Amino acid sequence: MTSHQSKFNKYFSTIRQLLRGIMIIIPVAITIGSLVALFLWLLGQAIHFRFDHQWLLFLLPMGGLAIHLVYRSIGKSSEKGNNLIIEQIHLQGGAIPIVMTPLILLTTILTHLLGGSAGREGTAVQIGGSIAAQFGRWFKLKGPDMQMVVTAGIAAGFGAVFGTPVTGAIFALEILAPGKIQYKTLLPILIAAVAGDLTVAAWHISHTHYHIDALPATHYGFSSVQLYLLLFAKVMLSSAAFGLASLLFIRMGHEIKYLCNKIFSNKWMIPVFGGLLIIGLTILLGKPDYLSLGVDTEYAGAVTIPSAFSTGGADTWSWLWKTIYTTITLATGFKGGEVTPLFYIGATLGNTCAALLDAPVSLFAALGFIAVFAGATKTPIACTIMGIELFGSQHAVLFAAACFIAYLCSGHRGIYIALKMEDAQCISPSNPANSFPPMASNKYRSYLGQKISRYKEPFR
C-alpha cells in the first residue's frame, strides 16, 4: 500500500467515525433539548406559583428532608451530581444512572417551588450526561466513543438551558480539562449543543434577553484613547473583585457543607436546618429577592438579574446576600445549580462597582455576569464566548479581560471538578491512557477519590 493510499484510508476512517458520531449525537441532543424544554417550562410554572403562594417558603425544611430521603433511598450515586458525570467521562465509563434525570428534574423543581436559592444548569448538565450515557449503553459504546457522547450530552444540556450553544460546547470541554481543550472533538460536541438549543426553541421556550446600553458621552475633555484606557483600568479593578466574589462563593459553599457534616450526626437534619436558615434570613431582610433564580420579578422594585443592568437596580450588598442564600441552599442538600445565582451575584456586584467607579452600569453588570461565572467554574474561554453570544461582540476585549482576570483572582479550585487546576492539567479527556500508567483505571479511581475527599475538607 502506497503512502497516499494509507493517508486516504486514514482520512476516510476519520470522516466515517465523525459521521457516525454525529448520527448518534443528534437524536441524543434532541432528546436532551426536549427534556430541558420541559424542565424550563415546569421551572417557570413553579416559580410563579410560589410568587402567588408565599406561604410555600415555610415548607422548605420539609422539602429538603424529602429530597434527602429520596436520594438516600433510590438516588444512590446520583447524589454526586456533576462530579459523577465528570468522573465517568475521565474514566471513559457510562456508569451514570438514568434515574439521575427524573430525580434531578423533580428535586430542582421542588427546591424552586419552595423558595430555595439555586440555579438550573446543574439540572441541565445532569439530564444531558445521564441521557447521553443511556444512549451510549443502547448503542453499546465504549471508551472514547462513550466519552464523546457524554461530553456532547453536557454541551447539549448547557447550550439548551441558556440558549448559548457555542458556550455550551466550549464549556463542556473546558470543565473536563482546564487549560487543555481537545479541539478534535469540538465539532460533534458543537453540533450537539446547537441541536439541543434548536430543540428548545422548537418547543417555543424563550430565554431572558439582556442588553448593554451605548456608552455615554463624556465632557471631561479626554481623547477616545484616554477614555478607553480609563475604562479598561476600571474593568481590571472590578474584575479582581469579581474573582474574589467567585472565591468567596466557592469557600463558603465548602465551609458550610463541612460544618454541617461535622455538627449534625443525623444527616437528615442538615436540609431541615438549611431550610430554616433561609426562612429566617428572609424574615430578617423583609423581602424575598434572594430566593429561587432571581430572574423573574416577584414585585415592583425587586432586585433581579435584569434589574441589575439599570442604575439603582441592585442594593450595595445584593451580591453578598445572594452568595449567602445560595451557598446555604446548595451546601445543605437542595438541588439545582450554581450558574444562574453566579450570574445574579456578578450582575449585582457589577452594578455596585459601576456606582463606586462612575462606570457604565449595564456594561459592568454584563462583565460581572460572565466574570464571576468564569472565576467559579474555571472556564474563562467559554465565559468570554458567552458574553459575545448574550451581549454582542462590541465589548469582546473587555469580556475577555474580565473573565481571565477573575479566573486568575479566584484561586485554584472551582465549583465542579474536585481537583486543583494543576492536578487537572495532567488529565486528557480524549486520551486518559496517556495521562496515567497502563492499567491505571483503578489507580485513577483511588486517586480521584482521595482528591475529592481532600476537596471536601475546609480551606485552611
Q: Looking at residue 385, what is its pLDDT?
A: 96
Cell of 295: 430572574
C-alpha 157/C-alpha 425 separation (Å) is 25
Least confident of 46-55, 72-81, 318-327, 417-426: 417-426
- 163, 166, 170, 171 alpha-carbon torsion, rounded to 10°: -10
**DSSP one-letter string for 144-180:** HHHHHHHHHHHHHHHHHHHT-HHHHHHHHHHHHSTT-
Q: How confident is the model at residue 394 (pLDDT cuts 50, 70, 90)?
A: very high
Q: Looking at residue 74, what is its pLDDT?
A: 86
pLDDT cut 70: percent of the chain above it: 84
Cβ contact 153:129 at 8 Å? yes
Cβ contact 369:210 at 8 Å? yes
Q: Looking at residue 407, what is its pLDDT?
A: 96
Summary mean pLDDT of the chain: 86
Whose cell is 486514514? That residue is 10
Q: How confident is the model at residue 192 (pLDDT cuts 50, 70, 90)?
A: very high
Least confident of 10-24, 159-173, 413-427: 413-427
**226-253: string of b/e by CB count within 10 Å (b at 16+)?**
eeeebbeebbeebbbbbbbbbbbbbebb
What's the pLDDT tens digit per position in 15-65? 777 788 788 999 999 999 999 999 999 999 999 999 999 999 999 999 999
Q: Looking at residue 4, what is its pLDDT?
A: 65
Cβ contact 383:370 at 8 Å? yes
**DSSP one-letter string for 102-147:** HHHHHHHHHHHHTT----SHHHHHHHHHHHHHHHHHHTT--HHHHH
Q: Looking at residue 93, what is its pLDDT?
A: 64
What's the pLDDT tens digit per position in 108-139? 999 999 999 999 988 999 999 999 999 999 98
**pTM summary value:** 0.87
Q: How confident is the model at residue 69 (pLDDT cuts 50, 70, 90)?
A: very high
Domains assigned to the chain: 18-202 (1.10.3080.10), 224-409 (1.10.3080.10)
- What phi, psi does 358 have (nearest 5°)? 55, 55
C-alpha 371/C-alpha 404 separation (Å) is 8
